[in-house]
Amino acid sequence: MHAIPDKPGVYLFKDKNDNILYIGKAKSLKKRVKSYFRKTDNLKTKLLISKYNKIDFIICSSEKEALILENNLIKKYLPFFNILLKDDKTYPYIIITDEKFPRIVKMRKIPSKYKNKFGPYVEGGKINALIDILATFFKIRTCRRMKDSACLRKYIGYCAAPCQNEISEQHYNLQINNIIEILKGNTFLFIKDLNKEMEFASHNLNFEKAALIRDVIGFLKDIKNNQYAQISRENTFDVLAISMNSNSFVISIQRYNSGKLLDYENIICDYLDIEEDVQRVLIQFYERNTQTIQAYIDEKIFNIIKNAISYINADFTVPKIGENARLVENASKNSDILLGNTSDIISDLKKSLLLKNTPMRIECYDISNISGEFAVGSMVVFENGRNINKKYRKFKIKTIIGADDFHMLLEVLKRRLEHKEWIMPDLIIIDGGKGQISTVKDIIPHSIDLISIAKKEEIIYFPDFRELKLPKNNKVLNLIQRIRDEAHRFAITSYRKIHSKAFFSSEFDNIKGIGQKTVDKLMKNFFSYDKIKKADIDSLAKVIGKKQAKILYNHFRSEENK
């Protein structure tokens, strides 16, 4: 410890293979690193110390320089123990373009010319679905440039086709105004009218239209439920609160625009150093904004980040009274509830199952197939008790013929363990019983804990033939069930994709001149075999070209005449 200097800089915990486990910054490297070796109840700190082999450091001229270097190194090396947000993109807006026949689009960097913009939204994934369903329901064009001929969306009833003069500019703009009102949060009258329209469509057996209206109503209710009491401010601002225990913290971030709750994000993290990790979270969170946002925070956050406030792209204020103080108090209640739901579960899991490791990373495996056809194995990943979708993997079964789930599972685990570049799990969960765990236990390294859980009885099995049955309402059992069910869901979804694609392709096997690339285009644009059969030759030509459209069209007509 004596070799580490009493200067500002960045420190790197590394394992025996020289992999970086954790990167941190400090005003005093010596004091900060020394703090990790004090007695603590923090599980993450204990696990880091148990896995590290050496500590490297980089001296900086100031704490600010260390902060910038730390942020860049974390993005480059993605250490397992560091807190990382989803990405470093700017937050998206929904824009109504100022064209003659406007479009509804998502943008991250907005030119000043656009008057109708809504956002920024924290959860960008929701925007794509919202734009798609609004454009479809109100039949708004999506093409960047209107062409002389109509596109596929017109023929399947998703666009009013202003390019063909099938809708007046006045009527089209009425639909655009409806969308603007919805995005402003004025949804009540729309929901009332749409419920009547959905009932009418269902009564007339137009179930496809009824389903579309149902989806629109769902989005409108979501927008309505996210509204809050009117606030006097017109600009965009955030409200933040934090709750913490000895291992974890939750930051609740709520984004308002024009006085209404626009979006929210709850950041749930295990921490090694509360000051360091909260500062890092907020720096990464706010660097994605294109402009500085006003943020109202509780005093706990202010005390944690006060030494780094000037480095965070937000204008922080601690409100004492009034509307903003009330909003902060509500955010604090939200973070308290979330923290209570996530605390200590990893520690309880280790104790209840008598595991060797603290199960910070859990992987769960399942197999999906019907009589051995289109078999696929799924791997889902949970870290700190939370699923990490981007680390999920699926494995198409390559070596097993017939319905042999045991050996399919063995193949999947062998292939997974060959990926030395992936972080090894602390615990592997198998969806199955004694047979599954007996088949795979010999290939699992002794350093990794292994269990299986059988459905119906929900008995947990161990490689040494121990069995454990936990009460139905037990939190540990509920977590294991949730992980197992997620692996099963992912396996079924993967199987259906492979099966439907294979079935779809097989329908075209005997049509000369129609290859796999053409089939993929048809699948992407028409979604079902029946819709392709019913399509006219012009609709097919827009997707696959005139020559192949003619081949396909003539094939279907000849089939009808047989």
Q: Are residues 250 and 188 in the same domain?
A: no
HEC string for 479-522: HHHHHHHHHHHHHHHHHHHHHHHHHHHHCCCCCCCCCHHHHHHH
Residue listed under structure tokens 């000849």: 558
46 vs 40, 50, 360, 375, 521, CA distance in Å? 8, 6, 12, 41, 53
Q: Can you read off the two tokens belonging to residue 242?
A: 């934090």
**What is residue 222's predicted lDDT score, i.e. its pLDDT?**
63
Give per-residue pLDDT as tens, 132-149: 878 888 889 988 888 777
* 206 and 259, same domain (yes or no): no
Q: Which among 77, 111, 130 is the end of a domain?
A: 77
pLDDT for 125 beyond 90: no
459 and 525 fall within a common domain: no
Q: Which helix (H) or strand (E) holds 338?
A: helix 323-342
Q: Are residues 189 and 296 located together in one domain of the fold?
A: no
pTM: 0.49
Could you give phi then psi for residue 372, rounded to 5 degrees? 85, -5
pLDDT at 486 over 80: yes
CATH number of domain containing 37: 3.40.1440.10
- 477 located within any domain: yes
Query: Is the pLDDT confidence value at 123 over 80?
Result: no
Residue 421 lies in a domain: yes
Encode burial over 332-356: b for 16+ CB neighbours within 10 A, e otherwise.
Answer: bebbeebbeebbbbbeebbebbebe
The CATH number of the domain holding residue 317 is 3.30.420
**CB-based contacts of 445, cutoff 8 Å, min separation 6:** 417, 424
The answer to whether residue 446 is domain-embedded is yes
Domain boundary at 192, 225, 258, which? Answer: 225
Q: Sorting pLDDT into bands at 50, 70 and 90, what band is 326?
A: confident
- Residue 230 has a pLDDT of 35
Whether 218 and 153 map to the same domain: the answer is yes
Query: Considering the domain boundaries, does residue 1 fall inside one?
Result: no
Q: Is 228 left (phi over 0), alpha (psi -120 to 50) or beta?
A: beta
Backbone angles phi, psi at 505, to 5 degrees: -65, -35
Structurally, the chain folds into a number of domains equal to 5
Whether residue 484 sits in one domain with residue 429: yes
What confidence score (pLDDT) does residue 228 get? 37
Residue 37 has pLDDT above 80, yes or no: yes
Chain segment 248-261, per-residue pLDDT in tens: 788 988 888 766 67
Mean pLDDT of the chain: 81
Residue 556 belongs to domain spanning = 507-561
3, part of any domain = no
* CATH of residue 522: 1.10.150
Going 75 to 80 to 82 to 83, the CA torsion angle's sign is positive
Could you tell me which residue, 61 or 434, shows the higher pLDDT?
434
In this structure, the answer to whether residues 257 and 389 fall within a common structural domain is: no
pLDDT of res. 231: 38
Domain check: are 329 and 417 in the same one? no
Whether residue 86 is contained in a domain is answered as no
Looking at 499, 534, 549, which one is the last position of a domain? 499
Are residue 265 and residue 216 in the same domain, yes or no?
no
Residue 164 has pLDDT above 60, yes or no: yes
Instruction: Judge whether residue 196 has pLDDT over 90.
Output: no
Are 30 and 124 found together in one domain? no
Same domain, yes or no: 379 and 478: yes
Quote the pLDDT of residue 449: 94
pLDDT at 226: 45
For the ranges 178-182, 379-383, 426-430, the lowest mean pLDDT is seen at 178-182
Average pLDDT over residues 222-238: 54
Determine, yes or no, domain membership for 140.
yes
Same-domain check for residues 359 and 493: yes
